[in-house]
Structure 1
């Protein structure tokens, strides 16, 4: 049985990060989505511990990591990921990032390509401006929730509240996350699993990174940097993600060594809806 060990990683500015290592093999580091959420990769780790030493972590100020006041910048989070790499003694690693975590993993690879064997970019939104995807995402979110009119009405009611209790925040999140799944009979159940381990959403972190992305993504400088990234990259998409997949074309065009895997029956969390296809894509990157 693969051994699992939880540890505390201390950053150079004294913030304590929760981290966990499980399995044996080449090192694989997972970067969770958000921003402002926490690691939800238990199933992913469990499916890969026979292929890799899987490292999970909660980003600063989120989940099981210690409280802090930021800073909420990509530069700081890249430094936190570097602290985790040093803590576990990883000379090089395969990085897997999901959603916002795909942006973080890409940022780390651009800053430290010599430390990365390969990048697995899952359900990201590319390197273009928000106009490539955000309006489409919003429309698709409302349309999918609207398939259950009472669900859409409740989500809107909770969203419009200026202040929400923890229970209301969790309910709103589960309703919104249900739109990420393709199976409309089990979507609420699958979203509920994401919230079984619940922590406060770091809204300050979320707002800061969304503002940073609007300033720095979609620039010629970012495109040029990706053109110079001499690493194998596997882009994994669920074809039915409510974020328009065409947004990722900008990244695919820029990267010199890229392979794209599209899982036709999956949404934003492809490991939940096509576990076999997802595992095959990741294990290929590990090789």
Structure 2
């Protein structure tokens, strides 16, 4: 069921709810993309009442700013308040993992569990990024010349989609199916919000330069699950900084999966998440 969330500054956000059970809110990646987590909602629909949403300025939500981390946290709080209730589990992917973490740090009493999927940690120097760039070009293989040609010039809307599909194909572990999986991510094509991407990424980089984030993570008293695809082109040691800061948390590496582990290894992903959310397990432990 699709619904509209109105934020405290009257921005209209698209959202959809499916499934039944305890509340779980999903935060998509980007920044500047739209929700592509419907497969997760289907995987978990028997275990949770799942809320998906398009972040401000993205996809089916109203295209307006401001674009900032604090604003994104406030928007997520509006989604939680209007659709999930007083306390919810959060699952964030990539940039959405950072958003979910920031929300849990700001509002720990409103978060029952935090699931951090394919994030990039809290290292100030972002040392993983040069390895990511090298791995991206390697995995693109024979698609690399076309991707580089498109990336070097202004693009038509059709070329923008083609460029994104080629880049996203590197996020999957298996070359034979990577392009098909990336095409599915891009369908329907709802466009990239470059202004949102630039503004939020710049703020996150500034935020990571401070020691405050690690200090706040050390004090966080919310059960946390870190899920990685072992074949992600973003090196998984980049997340070690967060794992160390959190102390007691659970971490699962899914073999044979890239940046979107639920696509290539859906049963392993579902099992990791449902085990963590199970009441008798309590989400605790390494």
Q: Give 1:219 shift.
A: 2.4
Shift of 1:285: 2.4
In structure 2, the partner of 1:214 is: 205
Q: Does 1:154 align with 2:146?
A: yes
**Residue in structure 1 matched with residue 73 of structure 2 by the alignment:** 78
Q: CA deviation at 1:133?
A: 1.2
Preserved contact between residue 229 and residue 256 of structure 1 (Cα < 8 Å): no
Q: Residues 186-208 of structure 1, C-alpha deviation per residue, up to 9 Å, x if partnerless?
A: 11011000011111200000001
Residue 129, structure 1, aligned to residue 124, structure 2: yes
- How far apart are 1:86 and its partner, in Å? 1.2
- The correspondence for 2:2, drawn from 6, 12, 35, is 6
Unmatched 5+ stretches in structure 1: none
Q: Residue 21 in 1 paired to residue 17 in 2?
A: yes
What corresponds to 2:229 in structure 1?
238
Note closer, same or farther for the CA distance 1:239–1:206 as it changes in structure 2 (3 Å cut): same
Sort the Cα spacing of 1:26 and 1:89 in 2 relative to 1 into closer, same or farther, 3 A.
Answer: closer
TM-score (norm: length of structure 1): 0.95
Residue 31 of structure 1 is matched in structure 2 by 27
Partner of 1:50: 46
CA distance in 2, matches of 1:89, 1:275: 25
CA contact (8 A) 2:28 2:95 kept: yes
Q: Give, in angstroms, the shift of residue 91 of structure 1.
A: 1.4
When residues 179 and 130 of structure 1 are mapped into structure 2, their CA distance, relative to the original with a 3 A threshold, is farther
Aligned to 2:190: 199
**Further displaced range: 126-135 or 224-233:** 126-135
Moved over 4 A (4+): none
Taking only aligned residues, the RMSD between alpha carbons, in angstroms, comes to 0.9
Q: Which moved more, 1:96-105 or 1:82-91?
A: 82-91
Corresponding residue SS for 2:274:
helix
Cα deviation code 1:212-266 (max 9, x no counterpart): 1211114211110000000110000001100010000000000033110000111
Asked if residue 138 in structure 1 is aligned to residue 133 in structure 2, the reply is yes
Report the CA distance between 1:71 and its aligned residue: 1.3
3-state SS of paired residue (1:17): strand
Match of 1:88 in 2: 83
Would you say how many aligned residue pairs link Structure 1 and Structure 2?
Answer: 278
Unaligned runs of 5+ in 2: 279-286
Distance 2:124 2:233 in 1: 17
Aligned position for 1:105 = 100
- In 1, Cα distance between the equivalents of 2:113 and 2:245? 16
Q: Deviations over 1:35-57 (max 9, x none)?
A: 00000011111111111000000
Question: Under a length normalisation based on structure 2, what TM-score does the superposition of the two structures give?
Answer: 0.95
Residue aligning to 2:36: 40
User: Residue in 2 aligned with 1:224?
Assistant: 215
Alpha-carbon distance in structure 2 between the residues aligned to 1:39 and 1:203: 16
Aligned to 1:267: 258
User: How far did 1:166 drift?
Assistant: 0.8
